[in-house]
Amino acid sequence: MISVLVLTLNEEVNISDCLDSVAWADDVLVLDSGSEDRTVEIARSKGARVLHRDFDDFASQRNYGLEEGGLRHDWVLHLDADERVTPALRKALRDKAERGAHRAYRVPSKLIFQGRWLKHAGMYPTYQVRFGRREALTFTQVGHGQRGALPADQVGTLDEPLLHYAFSKGIADWVRRHNRYSSDEAEHARETQLGDVDWSALMTRDAQARRRALKDLSYALPFRPLLRFLYVYVGRLGLLDGRPGFDYAVLLAFYEYLIGLKRREHMRPGDEPNVEASANASLETDPQEA
């Protein structure tokens, strides 16, 4: 009834638990981009099919899996190796596959950090389009993340979340990945102008479209690292998550600072220095994604 597509690169720490959480699916495809550890071996031992594709971006990987992965079922769930499907989410997925009214669905995720769910600092619920009909669910790359291409009225929302263990390989791994992501976000920020903002989306009921518009608008705001910290730790009540909430807010501010530095480093001739220095990143940027 449901195929599962998992993206991997050196995920021997995560892949076993990830695949165990979808052991109910009879079609699981692992799309690996060149793992040098035991990821592929473990995936095959768990009964998953494995394909290889060199990584260029997340959207292209997911689209390749949809188009070339030989998926057996009409409905597809997209996962990263550090994500887990709970029994309650499994039931919700099956219910939507049987009688859902939409072609795709947004799925919330619970960010797990230092052994606890960051209910506030993790900005729960943050949604991503991860489940849908194979022929409808395609992606486009934006910054370091990807967006579903379906119109909003064709996308529903699930209440049951994924569990996201974004720090399962340690802080050093998170920093390495977000060093790469910050380069992609800096490039996207350089290409975004205020004229690109969809102002009407700021007033829409579609939370995802609203977040996208806020992301584009936020490139013109000053002091983004500080604002990101205050937004997460105070505005979103991350302080109620204890020390993990504080640590995570600091990490996000650091990530924003990297984006700003890289954007200024590659300032184009004729760019306005005051605007360039003030635009660092976005409220939609979600370091949980990978």
- Residue-level pLDDT at 153: 87
CA 118/CA 226 separation, integer angstroms: 20
Q: What percent of the chain lies above the pLDDT cut of 90? A: 68
Q: What is the mean pLDDT of the chain?
A: 86
Most confident of 97-106, 143-152, 213-222: 97-106
- Residue-level pLDDT at 275: 37
Mean per-residue pLDDT, 148-170: 91
- Residue-level pLDDT at 282: 35
Tokens of 288: 């949980």
pLDDT tens-place string over residues 162-221 = 999 999 999 999 999 999 999 988 888 777 665 555 656 556 666 656 666 666 666 667
Mean per-residue pLDDT, 48-52: 98
pLDDT tens-place string over residues 193-204 = 655 556 565 566
Mean per-residue pLDDT, 74-95: 98
Rg (CA), the chain: 19
Mean per-residue pLDDT, 249-274: 80
Q: Could you tell me the end-to-end alpha-carbon distance of the chain, in angstroms, rounded to an integer? A: 26
